[in-house]
Amino acid sequence: MKLLRTTVNHVTMAGILMLAIPLAAMADEPPPIPKEVKVITGEQIKKMLGDKDKFMLVDSRIANEYKDGHIPKAINVVDKEMENHKAKFPSDKDFPIVFYCNGYPKCPRSVNGATTAMTWGYKNLFVYTAGIPDWEQKGYPIERK
């Protein structure tokens, strides 16, 4: 009887571990980019800025990173604080909004921001997946505040 209980306990524990390990691994995976959100390149953003296109550029990184250097015309709205800054977003739900961070998938903040904006009803959303590291590597202009 004792052997049966020990075997059952081992089997139960093995089952729990088999479920827990994949869940822990999934917690570390970045959120997927929603199909409604388009990926944009640094070259496209640079052209949009040069052409003076009307769009909102959102740096989803933390304030210190933004102050250390950001893409010109970008506003800083950290992904986890978006609800507190909803008033900064345009009333026109078709207005183009571009999010960037430190590069997806390493940094999921831009995707998180775009996903939140999508839940608010915005339809013209973009994510610069290469992010600020790519922008700096290309030697594009950086603003510091």
Residue range 31-58, pLDDT digits in tens: 999 999 999 999 999 999 999 999 999 9
Cα dihedral 7, 10, 13, 18 sign: negative
Q: pLDDT value at position 2? A: 52
Q: Across residues 64-83, what is the average pLDDT? A: 97
Please report which confidence band the pLDDT of residue 29 belongs to, taking 50, 70 and 90 as the band edges. confident
* Nearest residue to 76 via CA among 90, 104, 96, 56: 56
pLDDT number for residue 18 = 43
Q: What is the predicted pLDDT for the residue at 27?
A: 56
The pTM is what? 0.81
Residue 14 pLDDT grade (very low, low, confident, very high; cuts 50, 70, 90) = very low
Task: Report the CATH architecture of 38-137.
Answer: 3-Layer(aba) Sandwich (3.40)
Supply the mean pLDDT for the chain.
87
Give the residue carrying structure tokens 């506003």: 75
pLDDT at 1 over 90: no
**pLDDT higher than threshold 50 for residue 15:** no
Q: Mean per-residue pLDDT for 11-40? A: 64
Q: Three-class SS string for the chain?
A: CHHHHHHHHHHHHHHHHHHHHHHHHHHCCCCCCCCCCEECCHHHHHHHHHCCCCCEEEECCCHHHHHHCECCCCEECCHHHHHHHHHHCCCCCCCCEEEECCCCCCCCHHHHHHHHHHHCCCCCEEEECCHHHHHHHCCCCCECC
Closest CA relative to residue 60, chosen from 142, 128, 143, 138: 128
Summarised one tens digit per residue, pLDDT across range 87-130 is 999 999 999 999 999 999 999 999 999 999 999 999 999 999 99
